[in-house]
């Protein structure tokens, strides 16, 4: 007698599977997600190395998360003192010298014994409390799980590391989903393919001679494969063939995310649609730019209209019609200076863009004669990384000559950000700032002794809330508040600088708590922000707004553009110096009080650069910038290059990741990675001066550089 079942069950091994359906293979569904990591593929765990300074005693603050509790005499600290006394743990001995049993007791706790903790309550009476000792690590992990505060969660994350989930090994899926294979490959293995690997694998599956699928399976998969091949082709066309299928959306650059959305739109095959794209060429090498332009033309050819906001020379020249706005930025712009075909714009006498397109003007930096390097770097003074092998880097040795303007180039996904951000910045930062952040895989780094500081100027926001703005970030607002507090009216009323801050009680509008806006919760719709009815969006109360400096109150000053403020404060050196650096990086059009969330990534990056420029130069600083030309016109690029060259002429070293040929041809040294993106990249293709790189036939950067020199 045999027992048969219509369900996926095995009476021998006593296991059963639920019915296999699409959601079984989704880590976003409880039906497919790994139960241990909830489909994330990783777990956050408290790292012992990040919470302990072995050179300090516990009383000196060896336990970093608890360093403040020593002074505040909290119940947590009293508990630790009691545990130490009963277990004879020396709190004055450096943590690294303690016996392993004592370290384990402190870090992992003691749930077997009860400790009687005594101390004064809030009324001053001595009370006793019997408790077990949770331990530092379990305590942090419990608080991380229980808290609803983003701030507390962020603070605890500083002491945590990310480990691959030991149950799903990072695949994010249940074992049931990983038991299904196509040609001996699980969905997790296929998801690790780059688009470059996935595309030929799909095509092979779709051929008649391929034996991976049975005839019946081929019939079922026929329409699915056709659609898959079509959609993957679009990703290749927009220059994203180096991405892996499993790449998380939050790790994508802005340009990559935009091109993925573009690929999905091409796949829809719609016509009669108006597409609006904001700088789709961001992050693209010149080689990939041509494929993107071809893709946009395909959209146009199926009866769509494509409007692109762009500064890329090739994109502008390949367009059908151009609207050139100007003549300046901010208050000085907003007019159409010229419109027409590319050839018409090139002939326009009024258009700055036309002059750069026609070659009448070029982005070039003349030598600044009156500036001399503050220190003379010899040829052997280099910052050298040995055996860089993080992500797709192929164990390369790279030398960066110090006191130079260096461009790191290569096609998208070739390993530029990994080398510069993950290895160089983190390794040098950990040396100077004693951070616990681990640098990417490399065998060693030399030359750090020739530097005294490293500064990363990236495109992350200068603040997450409207409370942060260019004036507060650069420090100019501190001097502005001081100036208002020294006016006659302010001194008569006894107002201090804090009275003119919208972040603290006193001068701010309490109805909106200095936000200038009030949030209206819309339940199932996104929250709406409206101007505060009390202060009309000015952020301050009536008393603070009564104080004037040269007929302007504090709200009027925050509403000024940098250009206007420079004129207004031209006789106040402390404020003028701060504002001049913002103007120098091409941000004269932004307002002093412009909320941080409204600034683009490129603008935020230049505000950070302005802040660094306003600080006293050391002449031995390493500056790292990632695509600083994002969102910049040819004229603005020239201004930015002038500033970066000034930094180098002062003895500093500037490393930038860049695709813009106008910038690359003006740098002192190029490090070109490639040859392709993803697994086919990560090699050092060439390094040298722009002239030397332009002669390297195997370098894509060199090929395009030769046309521009």
Q: Where are the domains of the chain?
A: 1-35+170-191, 45-164, 193-320, 382-460+616-708, 470-569
Q: Quick one: average pLDDT of 338-346?
A: 94
> Each residue of 603-660: pLDDT tens digit?
888 899 888 888 877 788 999 998 888 888 888 888 889 889 888 988 899 999 999 9
pLDDT at 508 over 90: yes
pLDDT band at 370, cuts 50/70/90?
very low
Model confidence, pTM: 0.77
Phi, psi values for residue 674, rounded to 5°: 160, -145
Beta bridge partners of residue 340, listed in sequence order: 322
Rounded to whole angstroms, the Cα distance separating 630 from 612 reads 19
Q: Does domain 470-569 have CATH number 1.20.1580.10?
A: yes
Q: Quick one: average pLDDT of 313-322?
A: 94
Assigned token pair, 110: 């003691």
pLDDT for position 374: 38
pLDDT for position 1: 64
Give the per-residue SS3 of 61-104.
Answer: CCEHHHCCHHHHCCHHHHHHHHHHHHCCCCCCCEHHHCCHHHHH
pLDDT for position 375: 43
Residues present in the chain in total: 709
pLDDT band at 380, cuts 50/70/90?
low
Phi, psi values for residue 431, rounded to 5°: -70, -45
Identify the three-state secondary structure at position 173.
strand
Q: Who has greater pLDDT, 95 or 520?
A: 95
Beta bridge partners of residue 164, listed in sequence order: 42
Structural fold of domain 1-35+170-191: ABC transporter ATPase like fold (1.20.1580)
* Domains 1-35+170-191 and 470-569 equal at CATH topology level: yes
Rounded to whole angstroms, the Cα distance separating 568 from 552 reads 10
Beta bridge partners of residue 337, listed in sequence order: none
Domain made up of 382-460+616-708: CATH architecture: 3-Layer(aba) Sandwich (3.40)
- H-helix or E-strand containing 502? none
pLDDT at 377 over 50: no
Contact, 321 vs 313, CB < 8 A?
A: no
Burial class from Cβ neighbours inside 10 Å (0-12, 13-18, 19+) for residue 33 reads buried
Which segments of 302-378 does DSSP mark as H helices, in order?
313-317, 342-347, 352-358
Contact, 422 vs 439, CB < 8 A?
A: yes
pLDDT at 464 over 80: no
Rounded to whole angstroms, the Cα distance separating 41 from 171 reads 6
Count each helix (H run) and each strand (E run) in the chain, helices first.
28, 23
> Each residue of 557-577: pLDDT tens digit?
999 999 999 999 999 999 999
Contact, 284 vs 311, CB < 8 A?
A: no
pLDDT for position 378: 46
pLDDT band at 320, cuts 50/70/90?
very high
Q: Does domain 45-164 have CATH number 1.10.8.280?
A: yes
Q: Quick one: average pLDDT of 518-541?
A: 85
Q: Who has greater pLDDT, 127 or 353?
A: 353
Rounded to whole angstroms, the Cα distance separating 28 from 34 reads 10
Q: How many CA atoms lie within 13 A of 36 on its CB side?
A: 17
pLDDT band at 333, cuts 50/70/90?
confident
Q: Quick one: average pLDDT of 664-689?
A: 91
Beta bridge partners of residue 400, listed in sequence order: 383
Which is nearest to 172 in space by CA: 37, 352, 30?
37
Which is nearest to 32 in space by CA: 191, 194, 264?
191
pLDDT at 455 over 50: yes
pLDDT for position 72: 61
> Each residue of 150-181: pLDDT tens digit?
788 888 888 888 889 999 999 999 988 998 99
pLDDT at 87 over 70: yes
Check residue 662 and give left, alpha or beta (phi > 0: left; psi -120 to 50: alpha).
alpha
Place of tokens 């000034």: 646
Contact, 391 vs 440, CB < 8 A?
A: yes
Q: Who has greater pLDDT, 699 or 529?
A: 699
The string of DSSP letters for 245-290 reads TT--GGGS-HHHHHHHHHHHHHHHT--S-EEEEE-TTTT--HHHHH
pLDDT for position 435: 65
Q: Does domain 193-320 have CATH number 3.40.50.300?
A: yes
């Amino acid at each position: 007698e045999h027992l048969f079942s219509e369900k996926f069950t095995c009476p021998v091994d006593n296991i059963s599977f639920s019915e296999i359906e699409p959601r079984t293979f989704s880590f976003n569904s409880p039906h497919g997600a790994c139960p241990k990591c909830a489909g994330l593929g990783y777990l956050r765990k408290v790292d012992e190395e990040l919470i302990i300074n072995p050179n300090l005693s516990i009383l000196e603050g060896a336990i970093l998360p608890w360093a403040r509790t020593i002074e505040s005499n909290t119940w947590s600290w009293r508990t630790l003192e009691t545990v130490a006394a009963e277990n004879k743990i020396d709190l004055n001995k450096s943590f690294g010298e303690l016996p392993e049993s004592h370290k384990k007791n402190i870090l992992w706790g003691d749930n077997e014994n009860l400790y009687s903790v005594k101390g004064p309550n809030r009324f001053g009476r001595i009370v006793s409390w019997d408790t077990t000792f949770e331990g530092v690590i379990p305590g942090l992990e419990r608080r991380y799980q229980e808290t609803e505060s983003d701030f507390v969660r962020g603070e605890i994350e500083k002491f945590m590391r990310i480990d691959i989930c030991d149950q799903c090994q990072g695949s994010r899926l249940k074992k049931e989903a990983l038991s299904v294979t196509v040609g001996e490959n699980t969905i997790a293995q296929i998801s690790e393919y780059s688009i470059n690997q996935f595309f030929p694998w799909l095509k092979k599956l779709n051929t008649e001679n391929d034996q991976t699928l049975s005839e019946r399976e081929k019939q079922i998969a026929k329409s699915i494969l056709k659609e898959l091949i079509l959609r993957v082709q679009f990703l290749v066309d927009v220059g994203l063939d180096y991405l892996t299928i499993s790449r998380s959306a939050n790790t994508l650059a802005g340009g990559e995310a935009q091109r993925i959305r573009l690929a999905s739109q091409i796949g829809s095959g719609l016509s009669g649609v108006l597409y609006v794209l904001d700088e789709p060429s961001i992050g693209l090498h010149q080689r990939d730019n041509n494929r993107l332009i071809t893709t946009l033309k395909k959209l146009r050819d199926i009866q769509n209209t494509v409007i692109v906001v762009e500064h890329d020379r090739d994109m502008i020249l390949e367009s059908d019609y151009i609207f050139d706005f100007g003549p300046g930025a901010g208050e000085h712009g907003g007019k159409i200076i010229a419109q027409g075909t590319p050839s018409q714009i090139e002939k326009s006498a009024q258009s700055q863009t036309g002059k750069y397109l026609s070659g009448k003007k070029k982005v070039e930096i003349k030598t600044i004669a009156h500036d001399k390097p503050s220190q003379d770097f010899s040829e052997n003074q280099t910052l050298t990384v040995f055996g860089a092998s993080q992500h797709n880097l192929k164990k390369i040795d790279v030398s960066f000559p110090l006191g130079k303007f260096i461009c790191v180039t290569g096609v998208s996904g070739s390993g530029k950000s990994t080398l510069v951000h993950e290895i160089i910045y983190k390794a040098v930062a950990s040396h100077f700032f004693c951070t616990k952040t681990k640098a990417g895989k490399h065998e060693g780094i030399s030359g750090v002794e020739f530097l005294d500081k490293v500064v990363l100027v990236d495109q992350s926001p200068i603040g997450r809330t409207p409370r942060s703005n260019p004036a507060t970030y650069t420090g100019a607002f501190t001097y502005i508040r001081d100036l208002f507090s020294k006016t006659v009216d302010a001194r008569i009323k006894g107002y201090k600088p804090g009275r003119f801050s919208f972040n603290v009680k006193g001068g701010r509008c309490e109805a909106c708590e200095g936000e200038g806006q009030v949030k209206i919760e819309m339940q199932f719709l996104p929250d709406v922000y409206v101007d505060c009815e009390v202060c009309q969006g000015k952020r301050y109360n009536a008393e603070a707004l009564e104080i004037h400096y040269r007929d302007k109150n504090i709200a009027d000053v925050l509403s000024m553009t940098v250009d206007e403020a420079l004129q207004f404060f031209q006789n106040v050196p402390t404020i003028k110096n701060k504002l001049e650096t913002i103007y120098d990086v091409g941000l004269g059009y932004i307002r002093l009080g412009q909320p941080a969330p409204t600034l683009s990534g490129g603008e935020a990056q230049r505000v950070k650069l302005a802040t660094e420029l306003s600080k006293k130069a050391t002449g031995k600083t390493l500056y790292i910038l990632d695509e600083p030309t994002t969102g910049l016109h040819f004229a603005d690029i020239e201004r930015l290059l002038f500033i970066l060259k000034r930094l180098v002429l002062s003895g500093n070293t500037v490393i930038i990741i860049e695709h813009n040929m106008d910038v690359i041809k003006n740098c002192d040294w190029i490090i070109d990675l490639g040859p392709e993106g993803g697994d086919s990249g990560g090699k050092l293709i060439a390094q040298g001066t722009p002239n030397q790189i332009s002669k390297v036939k195997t370098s894509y950067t060199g090929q395009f550089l030769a046309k521009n020199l």
